[in-house]
Amino acid sequence: MYSFVSESLPADQAETLADRLAASLAEIFPPGHTSLFLTLASDQDALGAAFDQALRSRGFALAAEASDQALTVAYAADQVDEQTWYTRLAISGGPLITRAYLLADGQLTEGAAAMRAGGDHGQR
């Protein structure tokens, strides 16, 4: 599993997306009882850093490395066109969650969401 963030993601939107991604995980996995290993897109990934912080603030434990005791989480945020973005959360052995967003007046608004049942999301 890998993570990816488009270079065109507005820096001021990273925190908003991170909070929404963390909320999606908290709806499925109990924060106080779930350990996660977050695969970062890069060392300079503002979304990854904000996502890490959002997960910790919700009560998730974050592991320093992948293990059998932690779910591996990969994420993506990419631009479809000038106004449309999407996010993807892939959880080892868990669901694949995607959501569309519209960017208008500098703000991201949630659009359609989809969740596909668990399984192997592939190594890349």
Residue 77 pLDDT greater than 60, yes or no: yes
Mean pLDDT of the chain: 88
| Structure-token pair, residue 60 | 């998730």
21 vs 1, higher pLDDT: 21
Distance of CA 48 to the CA centre of its chain: 8
- Selection from 63, 1, 66, 68 nearest residue 35 by Cα: 63
User: 36-59: per-residue pLDDT in tens?
Assistant: 999 999 888 899 999 999 999 999
Residue 123 pLDDT greater than 50, yes or no: no
Q: Which fold has domain 4-116?
A: Rossmann fold (3.40.50)
Place of tokens 């994420």: 75
- Selection from 100, 99, 93 nearest residue 121 by Cα: 93
Q: CA geometry: angle at 73 spanning 97 and 52, to 5°? A: 105
Q: What percent of the chain has pLDDT over 70?
A: 94
- The answer for 110, left when phi > 0, alpha when psi is -120 to 50, beta otherwise, is beta
Q: CA geometry: angle at 72 spanning 69 and 76, to 5°? A: 165
- H helix and E strand count, the chain: 2, 7
Domain locations along the chain: 4-116
61 vs 113, higher pLDDT: 61
Question: What's the whole-model pTM score?
Answer: 0.86
